[in-house]
A and B are shown apart, each in its own frame.
Chain A
Amino acid sequence: MERIFEQMPIVISSLNVGFIQTLKLFFVTLIGAFPLGLLIAFGSMSRFRPLSYFAKFLVWIIRGTPLMIQLLIIYYFPGLVLHNPVWGGGETGRFLAASVSFILNYACYFSEIYRGGIQGVPIGQEEAGLVLGMTKSQIFFKVTLLQMIKRIVPPMSNEIITLVKDTSLARIIALQEIIWAGQAFMKGSHGISGAIWPLFFTAVYYLIFNGILTMLLGHLERKLNYFR
């Protein structure tokens, strides 16, 4: 126990560095997947058949296979099979590959949430806009969008919280996120070796961050409660 107190400052500072990388992957994924998901959602609802088939096929592939496999394929396939290492070496390359994998994966999940949100807004809302002489884009931005956001906040919150934990999968391509940083103390890092508690301790980071997110998302949900 005393050992742990001695090791604590070193471990914390190392885990903090790892957690920064976790947070970076988390936010980059959100920033990329929010708009890409909307594009895929519009694609799968398109009346242009080839586009909607393509979007649905993509969603099927991405949702039908483990994110871990997607990470491995996206990171290793270009270099090892095509002999064209597009990602470059080192941590930057790993982060780039992880970002692409996560954005693609989460965009597909988001697209289904968006689709549910858009299709959940009654058709009468659009028709009311049309007979009032609004353009399609005015109807989307002024009428449908907020109702759709209200509908998607709860399922989206769920995905966002899952994403926080899913970032740990990037460990499989040795991205130096918090799990990687915690695990390093088993083999030896910063003069500490054979310690498994730092790995267990990473859970506290996830727990606190998810606690904050849950509060923020709950606040957003209540903000939108002024209408039904």
Chain B
Amino acid sequence: MSILEVEHISKSFNKTEALKDISFSLERGQVLSIIGSSGSGKTTLLRCLNFLETPDRGIIRVNGETLFDADNPAAKLESVIRKKRLHFGLVFQSFNLFPQYTALQNVMLAKELLAREQPDYKTRKKEIYEEIRSLSESLLSQMGLEKRKENYPHQLSGGQCQRVAIARALALNPDILCFDEPTSALDPELTGEVLCVIKELADNNTTMVIVTHEMAFAKDVADHVIFMDEGSIIEQGKPAQVFGNPSEERTRQFLGT
């Protein structure tokens, strides 16, 4: 069974159709890359998956559970959506780290707040805190940032910030980790270190959806590629096929082949 199934998602802003009847699925442990020019709807699609935008039509399923169905108004309630969001993690183009917290605090915060909802929180407060702390520290080490955990975001480079943001998303152990152009705000030198970390996650079978302009990276890391244009999926398939032998004229134009 697919871990993620997206069926007939559409979304309009005023009169502009940002997404037109998008359907795809993703298997557990696989990496999906979404490519396409700016304004093609890639980011809107990711934002729909993370419930930052509400699709006008369509269904989103994770592990067979329907998380969103546009025909079911109850699914749009903020309180209902909040828990469903946790199936997804999202790493932003502009990091969006919390500036008043250290790298470690950034990674710990959401999990600490979530732990307060556990029934045994009051009695195991200290223990839970230590658990979250050691988990967060090991995630930062995994990102190569063990020496940076006490630094504030403004003391870190863009690449380091983005790696903290990845650790922060991983801390909640999402089923599917989404990246929205994770290296677009970085210079080429820093891009490499972030892509390296994402590649490692892929090698460890993390299920990921990556919106990117790094074609070589997409080709290398993805199991499945979707090419989007003007809100529609033009072509999808294995990277070797989409990059090596695209069947659509528009894809060839975009890739410059």
The residues in A between 142 and 174 inclusive whose CB is less than 8 angstroms from any CB of B are 142-143, 146-147, 150
Q: From B98, which residue of chain A is reached at the shortest CB distance?
A: A143
Q: Which of A124, A131, A150 contacts B94 (CB 8 A)?
A: A124
Instruction: Pick out which of these stretches binds chain A: B83-91, B235-243, B248-256.
Output: B83-91
Interface string of B189-216 (1 = CB under 8 A from A): 0000000000000000000000000000
Number of residue pairs across A and B with beta carbons under 8 Å?
62
Output the least CB separation between B246 and chain A (Å): 32
Q: Which of B86, B92, B100 contacts A133 (CB 8 A)?
A: B86
The residues in A between 88 and 119 inclusive whose CB is less than 8 angstroms from any CB of B are none
The reply to whether B92 and A127 form a contact with Cβ atoms under 8 Å apart is yes
The reply to whether A128 and B172 form a contact with Cβ atoms under 8 Å apart is no
The reply to whether B113 and A138 form a contact with Cβ atoms under 8 Å apart is yes
Q: From A133, which residue of chain B is reached at the shortest CB distance?
A: B86
Q: A124-B94, A147-B99 are in contact. Are A131 and B113 (CB under 8 A)?
A: no
Q: Which of B99, B100, B110, B169 contacts A134 (CB 8 A)?
A: B110
Residue B50, interface by CB 8 Å: yes
The reply to whether B96 and A226 form a contact with Cβ atoms under 8 Å apart is no
The residues in B between 97 and 123 inclusive whose CB is less than 8 angstroms from any CB of A are 97-100, 109-110, 113-114
Interface residues of A, dominant DSSP? helix
Interface string of A74-89 (1 = CB under 8 A from B): 0000000000000000
- Specify which chain B residues have a CB less than 8 angstroms from the CB of A20 in the assembled complex: none
The reply to whether B85 and A142 form a contact with Cβ atoms under 8 Å apart is no
- Specify which chain B residues have a CB less than 8 angstroms from the CB of A227 in the assembled complex: 99-100, 152-154
Residue A46, interface by CB 8 Å: no
Residue A136, interface by CB 8 Å: yes
Residue B78, interface by CB 8 Å: yes
Q: A125-B98, A128-B98, A142-B109 are in contact. Are A136 and B92 (CB under 8 A)?
A: no
Residue A228, interface by CB 8 Å: yes
CA distance A122 to B85 in the complex (A): 21
The reply to whether A127 and B154 form a contact with Cβ atoms under 8 Å apart is no
CA distance A180 to B136 in the complex (A): 62
Residue A130, interface by CB 8 Å: yes
- Specify which chain A residues have a CB less than 8 angstroms from the CB of B100 in the assembled complex: 146-147, 150, 226-227
The reply to whether B99 and A131 form a contact with Cβ atoms under 8 Å apart is no
The reply to whether B96 and A127 form a contact with Cβ atoms under 8 Å apart is yes
The reply to whether A130 and B110 form a contact with Cβ atoms under 8 Å apart is no
CA distance A129 to B85 in the complex (A): 11
Output the least CB separation between A1 and chain B (Å): 56
Residue A193, interface by CB 8 Å: no
Q: From A127, which residue of chain B is reached at the shortest CB distance?
A: B52
Residue A132, interface by CB 8 Å: yes
Interface string of B126-168 (1 = CB under 8 A from A): 0000000000000000000000000011100000000000001
Give residues in B with beta carbon < 8 Å to A. 50-52, 78, 82-83, 85-86, 88-90, 92, 94, 96-100, 109-110, 113-114, 152-154, 168-169, 172
A and B contact pairs by CB, cutoff 8 A, 30 listed: A122-B94, A124-B94, A125-B96, A125-B98, A127-B52, A128-B92, A128-B96, A129-B110, A130-B51, A130-B52, A130-B82, A130-B85, A131-B88, A131-B169, A132-B110, A133-B85, A133-B86, A133-B110, A133-B114, A134-B110, A142-B109, A142-B113, A146-B100, A226-B152, A227-B99, A227-B100, A227-B152, A228-B99, A228-B153, A228-B154
Give residues in A with beta carbon < 8 Å to B. 122, 124-125, 127-136, 138, 142-143, 146-147, 150, 226-228
A128-B92, A131-B90 known; 13 new pairs, CB 8 Å cut-off, are A124-B92, A125-B98, A130-B52, A130-B82, A131-B88, A131-B89, A132-B168, A132-B169, A133-B114, A135-B82, A143-B98, A227-B152, A228-B152
Q: Top 4 nearest A-B pairs by Cβ distance? A: A132-B110, A128-B96, A124-B96, A228-B154
